[in-house]
């Protein structure tokens, strides 16, 4: 019997272990954490014949046939490098899902920003068309979970660079590239390497759709296949000599010369969401979905949690959760999209990147910036250096919301925006937990005032 080791007792690792066990592999699933929250899962998996090792650091052993890693495990971690050196095949959970589900059509969506909204909107359109096409990958299901159920009509996968890097044979029917800016450089080291990984998904896709509004992607147009399809919010003649298949004209999304849906049907603010709409429409049309189903899916789409999500209106001030804005570019877009004057809540686990446009947007729209988490002091120094004086270090979400309410009573504020420009791992398990905390604090604190 062949042996496999799966690293990470999270949702994707559990699904991967179960897929392998069903395929008659001898499976070990390990996690460095020994938390009691794993105990119920561990007992259930052990009953299925899967060996569980908690509080365990993987080291490669002779005779191991396959190593499957969750997305959070660095691809160049010493243990993975050693495993590959001794001849152990090493793949990600997404690659395992592809090997199990490659007989189905896949739609893969990547990009620095915009991919979650685009993925969720694509899934909503496919559902409106009567198709079973649940979102998976970075949102929704773990991809391997779909290999454990009745096969869907399509696999709609949001794919991070981490997942693409560890899925070398993944070849989607349709691939989308939403945006590109410098991110995850602590893992990928250079912008060029990060871009190469993203580009590989499009190169392996039968149909490639690329955002023609993105300056970086447009500058690299010659590097993409001549058969790539482009989108543009500024009309069909805005990116000549490229001619977009999908563009906006007179308030309509046009694809291949056909009016598909009015742009105002999408109930999400921001010009960036118009581009997300174009990407989703292009994907749906290339998948053969009729315009009427696309229009229905778009008009009923509620938006995405933690991305410009309206939490409440208090004394005429909108409180907006943009916790998914985990880098400067996403946070700049978030602040640009809301009504000003705004109070910005920012900070968390800081990332590398160019903050120039973000700081300019703060200067243009923010009446105050409230700083939380590990990035609070560095951000304060950065704003001081930019001669922006209206910042305060408050450290916690509770204090940020309370201080926002105080300022809103004294100054003409239209929006309080949580848009951190940081990862969450200094104070929260992930950006979803951070956004949920913001929602809960707003509900509790503002409801008591």
Structure tokens given for 129: 């068309």
The number of distinct structural domains making up the chain is 3
Domain boundary among 268, 299, 330: 299
Residue 255 — φ and ψ, nearest 5°? -130, 125
Same domain for 158 and 273: yes
| CATH, residue 23 | 3.40.50.720
Q: In the prediction, which pLDDT does 187 show?
A: 54
Q: In the prediction, which pLDDT does 112 show?
A: 83
Residue 74: exposure state from Cβ atoms within 10 A (0-12, 13-18, ≥19)? middle
Domain boundary among 244, 271, 299: 299
List residues forming the annotated binding site. Answer: 111-117
Same domain for 116 and 211: yes
CA distance 421 to 400: 15
pTM: predicted TM-score of the whole model, two decimal places: 0.78
User: 248: closest CA among 226, 263, 265?
Assistant: 263
Residue 291 — φ and ψ, nearest 5°? -60, -35
Q: In the prediction, which pLDDT does 138 show?
A: 80
State which residues of the chain have pLDDT below 50. 184-185, 188
Domain boundary among 60, 87, 114: 87
List residues forming the annotated binding site for ATP. Answer: 111-117
Q: In the prediction, which pLDDT does 297 show?
A: 96
Same domain for 138 and 272: yes
pLDDT tens string 128-171: 999 999 999 988 899 999 999 999 999 999 998 889 988 999 99
Q: In the prediction, which pLDDT does 36 show?
A: 56
- Which letter does DSSP use for residue 49 in this model? T
Same domain for 338 and 250: no
| CATH, residue 320 | 3.90.190.20
Same domain for 428 and 386: yes
Q: In the prediction, which pLDDT does 185 show?
A: 46
CA distance 407 to 401: 10
Residue 181 lies in a domain: yes
């Amino acid at each position: 019997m062949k042996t496999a080791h799966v690293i990470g007792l999270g949702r994707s690792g559990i699904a991967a272990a179960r897929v392998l066990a069903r395929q008659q592999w001898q499976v070990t699933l390990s996690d460095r954490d020994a938390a009691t929250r794993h105990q119920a899962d561990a007992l259930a998996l052990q009953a299925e014949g899967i060996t569980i090792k908690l509080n365990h650091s993987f080291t490669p052993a002779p005779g191991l046939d396959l190593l499957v890693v969750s997305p959070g495990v660095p691809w160049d971690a010493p243990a993975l490098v050693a495993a590959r050196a001794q001849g152990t095949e090493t793949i990600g959970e997404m690659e395992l899902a592809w090997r199990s589900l490659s007989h189905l059509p896949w739609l893969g969506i990547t990009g620095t920003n915009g991919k979650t909204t685009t993925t969720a909107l694509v899934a909503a359109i496919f559902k409106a068309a009567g198709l079973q096409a649940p979102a998976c990958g970075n949102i929704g299901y773990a991809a391997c979970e779909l290999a454990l159920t009745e096969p869907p009509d399509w696999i709609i996968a949001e794919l991070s660079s981490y997942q693409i890097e560890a899925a070398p044979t993944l070849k989607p029917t349709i691939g989308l590239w939403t945006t590109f800016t410098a991110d995850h450089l602590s893992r990928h080291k250079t912008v060029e390497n990060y871009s190469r990984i993203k580009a590989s998904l499009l190169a392996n896709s039968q149909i490639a759709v690329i955002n023609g509004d993105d300056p970086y992607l447009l500058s690299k147009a010659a590097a993409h296949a001549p058969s790539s399809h482009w989108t543009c919010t500024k009309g069909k003649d805005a990116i000549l000599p490229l001619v977009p298949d999908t563009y906006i004209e007179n308030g309509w999304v046009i694809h291949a010369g056909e009016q598909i849906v009015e742009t105002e049907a999408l109930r999400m603010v921001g010009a960036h969401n118009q581009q997300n709409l174009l990407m989703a429409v292009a994907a749906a049309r290339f998948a053969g979905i009729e315009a009427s189903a696309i229009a229905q899916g778009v008009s009923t789409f509620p938006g995405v949690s933690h991305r410009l999500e309206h939490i409440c209106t208090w004394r005429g001030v909108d409180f907006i959760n943009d916790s998914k804005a985990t880098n400067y570019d996403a946070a700049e877009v978030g602040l640009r999209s809301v009504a000003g004057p705004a109070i910005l809540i920012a900070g968390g686990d800081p990332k590398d990147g160019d903050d120039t446009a973000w700081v300019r947007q703060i200067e243009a729209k923010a009446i105050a910036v409230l700083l939380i988490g590990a990035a609070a002091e560095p951000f304060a120094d950065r704003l001081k250096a930019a001669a922006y004086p209206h910042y305060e270090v408050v450290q916690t979400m509770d204090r940020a919301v309370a201080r926002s309410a105080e300022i809103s009573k004294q100054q003409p504020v239209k929006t309080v925006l949580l848009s951190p420009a940081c990862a969450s791992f200094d104070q929260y398990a992930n950006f979803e937990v951070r956004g949920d905390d913001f929602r809960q604090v707003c509900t509790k604190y503002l409801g008591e005032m």
